[in-house]
Amino acid sequence: MFTGLIEEQGKIRNCKLSSNGMEITIECDKILSDVRLGASICVNGACQTVTDFGKDYITVQASNETLKVTNYKNLKTNDIVNLERALTLNSRLDGHIVSGHVDCMAEFVSSKDDGFSKEFFFKLPKEFTKYVIYKGSIAINGVSLTVASIDNDIFSVELIPTTLREVNLANLKKGEVVNIETDLFSKYVEKIFHSNDNTSKISYGFLAENGFV
């Protein structure tokens, strides 16, 4: 599990594509302080396992399934990626619960300044719009953000200057794709309501009474 608060921006040193997926080597610094083989690192929003590391890099192996649902296949040398180590039990959960399991990609549409923050607009595949709600949580390239607006398959988020400096979203170009993880709890709620198990005691009324909706 992760929080969506990016610890560091890493630089792609090398990408090796093979029939087994893609081996990605990333130059980094901060996350190396307690790195170990087998550690989980969130790279652009996708949970990856460290397969090798050195004094200034980590290497991860992305599976073919990961390549299907993320923007990893577009990565190239010198690209910047967002990095976060796994959540520990004594960490503050300042963002939201991020599993590191990317649902889909979204296309960057446009952005606009509002005098302080900057609003970014993205286009989602229609089948994932049901998981995105106004003021709900969403992870974009691993960054925990709040949905500022949603209109059909277009949603927006606002980033303050501090966030823009710390993550790799500031220089997005129209048509580029980002990794999206929708709110974990929305998927659990959907599963409950579409379950064939009629013995469940959880109903919409139960969720409302207990503050979930």
List the beta bridge partners of residue 46. 43
Q: Is the dihedral of CA 81, 76, 103, 43 positive or negative?
A: negative
Domain ranges of the chain: 8-85, 104-182, 184-213
Higher pLDDT, 47 or 195: 47
- How far is the C-alpha of 24 from the C-alpha of 45, rounded, in Å? 15
pLDDT tens, position by position, 146-189: 999 999 999 999 999 999 999 999 999 999 999 999 988 777 77
Kindly state the tokens that stand for 112. 């606009």
Does 8-85 carry CATH code 3.40.630.30? Answer: no
Q: Evaluate whether 73 touches 9 at the Cβ level (below 8 Å).
A: no
pLDDT tens, position by position, 93-108: 788 889 999 999 999 9
pLDDT tens, position by position, 36-94: 999 999 999 999 999 999 999 999 999 999 999 999 999 999 999 999 999 887 777 78
Distance of CA 87 to the CA centre of its chain: 14
Is 8-85's fold the same as 104-182's? yes
Kindly state the tokens that stand for 89. 């039990």
What is the CATH architecture of 104-182? Beta Barrel (2.40)
At residue 143, the pLDDT reads 97
Which stretches of the chain are DSSP H helices? 64-69, 161-166, 184-193, 204-209
Q: Quick one: which of 4, 62, 7, 5 has its CA closest to 33?
A: 7
The pTM is what?
Answer: 0.87
Q: Quick one: which of 179, 192, 191, 37 has its CA closest to 101?
A: 179
Q: Evaluate whether 46 touches 55 at the Cβ level (below 8 Å).
A: no
